[in-house]
Structure 1
């Protein structure tokens, strides 16, 4: 997994490029790269902190055999 520190270092490099660039099209490309780096961080934090949910455990029903029971239902007397 890419750390936030690595992403921030790349963003800083791109910012430095944007400050040095004079071509409008290239500057837009640098800003697009910065946006993409920010999206990586935002998407990864969204997947790291998902909504808490209770795990679903599939189980087999347990049947208890009683000598004096008439059936499997609780209401069978």
Structure 2
């Protein structure tokens, strides 16, 4: 959302008028702080326009993911466990 500098300056003038007519110090401080923020917005916008690249980079850049292959971990078992209950294989699910 781009807000023109003219609009910001008008808002600063409004806040300044309110600050001048403020009866309480708290209100004066609030209005002065608002003016400060509006001034910073103008300065930031001017700075951005100077630093803006000629060819802006799109916000979304697709990323290609390379599949990674993981080798299965091998366990070194010195000796196969012998079962006496007539099991058919090494798995718990072999019957």
CA distance in 1 between counterparts of 2:24 and 2:36 reads 19
Unaligned runs of at least 5 residues, structure 2: 55-95
- Of structures 1 and 2, the one scoring higher in RCO (CA 8 A, sep 6+) is 1
Rg bigger for which structure? 2
Structure 1 residue aligned with 2:57: none
Unaligned runs of at least 5 residues, structure 1: 54-77
CA distance in 2 between counterparts of 1:33 and 1:21 reads 14
TM-score, structure 1 length as denominator?
Answer: 0.64
Detail structure 1 runs of 4+ shifted over 4 Å in the superposition. none
Aligned length: 55
CA distance in 2 between counterparts of 1:40 and 1:52 reads 20
CA RMSD of aligned residues (A): 2.1
TM-score, structure 2 length as denominator?
Answer: 0.52
CA distance in 2 between counterparts of 1:41 and 1:3 reads 9
| CA distance 1:2–1:51, change in 2 (3 Å) | closer
Shift of 1:45: 0.7
CA distance in 2 between counterparts of 1:33 and 1:22 reads 17
